[in-house]
């Protein structure tokens, strides 16, 4: 029975020594899952931002994405220009997501 305890203790000691050199230790598993979680949340931002900007611009209909079209010789009607809408959406999305990307990149290298 005493030999069995020595064997288990020796096996645990050897296992801990091997885990120091192994790439699949418990610490690496935790960090890899947190990296996957970070990637998943980042993908959500990259999808939600352009959709949210598009919806806000579509609902608010600011004057810089509207065009005036003549209905009659006297009457004009404001119509949404979808090319302008997509261009403004793209520019705002790039500005916001680049700022978000740079902020995250700096925070991972040099956290506060």
Mean pLDDT of 13-34: 62
* CA 23 to each of CA 20, 89, 90: distance values in angstroms, whole numbers, following the listed order: 8, 44, 41
The pLDDT tens digits of the residues spanning 35-68 come to 656 666 677 888 899 999 999 999 999 999 999 9
pLDDT-based confidence at 92, cuts 50/70/90?
Answer: very high
Is residue 23 pLDDT above 60, yes or no? Answer: no
pLDDT of residue 35: 60
Task: Give dist(CA 80, CA 91) in Å, integer.
Answer: 18
d(CA 103, CA 101): 5
Beta strands in the chain (DSSP E): 66-70, 76-80
Residue 102 tokens read as 């740079």
């Amino acid at each position: 029975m005493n030999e069995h305890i020595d064997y288990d203790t020796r096996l645990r000691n050897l296992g801990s020594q091997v885990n120091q050199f192994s790439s699949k230790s418990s610490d690496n598993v935790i960090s890899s899952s947190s990296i996957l979680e970070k990637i998943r949340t980042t993908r959500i931002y990259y999808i939600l931002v352009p959709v949210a900007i598009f919806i806000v611009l579509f609902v608010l209909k600011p004057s810089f994405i509207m065009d005036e079209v003549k209905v009659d010789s006297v009457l004009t009607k404001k119509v949404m220009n979808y090319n302008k809408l997509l261009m403004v959406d793209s520019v705002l999305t790039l500005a916001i997501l680049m700022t978000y990307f740079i902020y995250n990149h700096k925070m991972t290298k040099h956290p506060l």
